[in-house]
Amino acid sequence: MLFLSTMMNAPLVLLLVFFYTTTIFLTSSYGTLAQSSLSKGSSLSVEKPNDVLVSSNGVFTAGFYNVGDNAYYFAIWFTQSSNSTIVWMANRDQPVNGRGSILLLSRNGNLVLKDIGRIDVWTTVTNSATQVELTLLDTGNLVLQTSENDILWESFNFPTDTLLPYQPLTRHTKLISSRSRSNYSSGMYSLFFDNDNLLHLLYDGPETSSLYWPSPAILFPVGRTTYNSSRIAFINLSGYFKSSDAFKFYASDYGEGPKRRLTIDYDGNLRLYSLDEKQGEWIVSWQAIHQMCKVHGICGVNSLCVHGIHGKRCSCLPGFKEKHSTDHDWSYGCQPKFNHSYQFGSYSDFVELPYVDFYGFDMKAPQAMSLEDCKRSCLRLDSCKAVMYQKQKGMCYPKSVLFNGIRTPSFVGTTYLRLPNEILKSYYYEPDWIVSSTQMNCSTVISHTIARDYPKDRGNRFFMYLLWFVSALGGVEMVCIVLGCCFLYRTRGDANLVQQGHLFVLTGSKKFTYRELQKATSGFSNEIGRGGGGTVYKGVLPDGRVAAIKRSDQPRQYHTLVTLVREKMSTSSTDDDDHDMASIVEQVMDPRVDSPYSVAKMEVLVKVALQCVEEEKDARPTMRKVVEMLIDHHENV
């Protein structure tokens, strides 16, 4: 009877086994049993990593996403991409705290994101007396709906920088780029329907804004129509995009299969991506702009964008410098090294920039005239920054703003940059300046001397060249010495906690910092012995163990020397006495150096060296900062 009963209940047993196996699988995949919805009165906590919503197909996850030091967004991301690519954010411009923040579906039907202290950061502004549920659908759409399936709110109606398949872009919505690759806050580029019913890309920078796609030079873009006011666009699962202005395109891997997203990236380009699920990486299957220098604002005002072997490069115009040189944010462009309020024409002249054009900001309608008349017309206007001249047509374009500068051999024209005479006396245009700028990466320090003093004595040209060569060689040697010192001192105190942990596990010993040993010995006060080139002190380690700590006499001599030099430099700076400074430099110089040297340059090198040997690691300058300090001094001398 027992056997017969078991056989009769076999389907039930198999069902229970299947349910149990499925539960185990889901638990191992998501840490806890994955949920795709949130009910009234429930919440998700930033402090619980497993407090997430997962779509039933496992493609999308919604939860708290770490974007920085103790900073979190409530976001939706692709579960299977290697870097968990975000497709939507609730609070992209106001991250919440990593402690105490929650997403709450209140009992009145309102979805609220609360920061620590229960401050409302974001809300759906909804209300319902009936049962309400928040669900993450398989499409990636986060939906707040009633038990009668009435939708109160959905994330598809509030896109950030990404469109998912069948998510509509309408007259009421737009895509806004991130600020940078790692900063997800609202950036300077957007995709939207303008009042002409056309789909446009817009640059909205700190000082100016402009449309750049479709190209402003094209009055009637091919294949576009302004006669449909519905203003709607979307992409389907196969990679086909269609807009009400008749614009359309197909993905290079057109067809159903890969997961897709259409994103306006932080660099201003609109791209369609397909997910390689084996690698978890995104592949570009279409993009709006192929030459990145055509994206407005990519290098900011008073700068130039050039296409090189490795993509675009940005550089400042002659007589200009980076605005944000510390973080090298080229979107802010460059600023003049001189007073930009020009006097009458006799106080300024022009530098020739062949094959260079600047978008828009023409001061008046172009006119046919000679090059000299074109320059004179600009010199009469204080606000004229440059003229673009097309020799073949004899057309003159005076410019009031130097924006979106681009150099390309295909451009038939030359820009003449206006500079004050005092700048032109110390700077002259080098024909290879444009070529050299192509080697500069927009994310690195730009350091290129575009001019030098005019030679006064042609008879001594050989001697001058030899003198420049010797001086440059000596300067390079000095820079190498200072950089080497900085590198040694920075790396000496840069053993991080992970490396120390590995050392302790492998050898049973731990590496201590000077401050830790100083604290353990109460300032090296309890001496218990001497010998072997040092003094032994009694110390108590953080874990309570008593240790004998030996302090070498050599570092003491080193610290004494550094302290002495620093005090002397400080005293000289206070007294502001050039003679005293020369005396101090002479004292710290190696007596074997018997050749002439510049006291001012040596003063800078000593000051830089003192910064490089600061006891606190974070107080020491970076390699980049050392180079900047040396170059700034070289340019000012």
Report the alpha-carbon distance of residue 146 to residue 25 in Å, rounded.
Answer: 31
Residue 579 φ then ψ, to 5°:
-65, -45
Strands (E), 43-99: 43-45, 53-54, 60-68, 71-78, 86-89, 96-97
Distance CA 614, CA 611 (A): 5
- Asked if 134 contacts 143 with a C-beta cutoff of 8 angstroms, the reply is yes
Could you give the CA distance from residue 123 to residue 372 in angstroms, rounded to a whole number? 62
242 is in an annotated binding site: no
Amino acid at 127: N
320's tokens: 């200009």
Pick from 424, 421, 422, 414: which is nearest to 388 by CA? 414
The distance from CA 89 to its chain's CA centroid, rounded to whole angstroms, is 19
Rounded-to-integer distance, Cα 377 and Cα 384, Å: 9
CA dihedral 178→182→185→190, nearest 10 degrees, is 0
Containing 570, the helix (H) or strand (E) segment is: helix 553-575
Matching residue, tokens 């600009």:
378
Please provide the size of the chain in residues. 637
Question: If you ran DSSP here, which 8-state letter would residue 56 be given?
Answer: T
Q: Exposed e or buried b for every residue in 234-245, given b needs 16+ CB within 10 A?
A: bbeeebebebbb
**418 closest CA partner among 462, 365, 381, 461:** 381
Q: In Å, what is the CA distance from 209 to each residue of 203, 204, 359, 387, 400?
A: 5, 4, 12, 21, 15
Residue for token digits 């910064």? Answer: 611
166, 234 Cβ separation under 8 angstroms? yes
R_g of the chain computed on alpha carbons: 33
Contacts of the segment 270-274: beta carbons below 8 A, 24+ positions apart: 270/191, 270/201, 270/213, 272/235, 272/239, 272/241, 274/239
Cα distances from 565 to residues 54, 217, 559, 610, 613, in angstroms, run 63, 63, 10, 8, 12
Q: Are residues 194 and 211 in contact, defined by beta-carbon separation less than 8 angstroms?
A: yes
- Opening angle at CA 40, ends 34 and 46, nearest 5: 55
Asked if residues 157 and 245 have their Cβ atoms less than 8 Å apart, the reply is: no
Nearest residue to 604 (alpha-carbon basis) of 633, 575, 563: 633
Binding residues for ATP: 550
Binding residues: 550
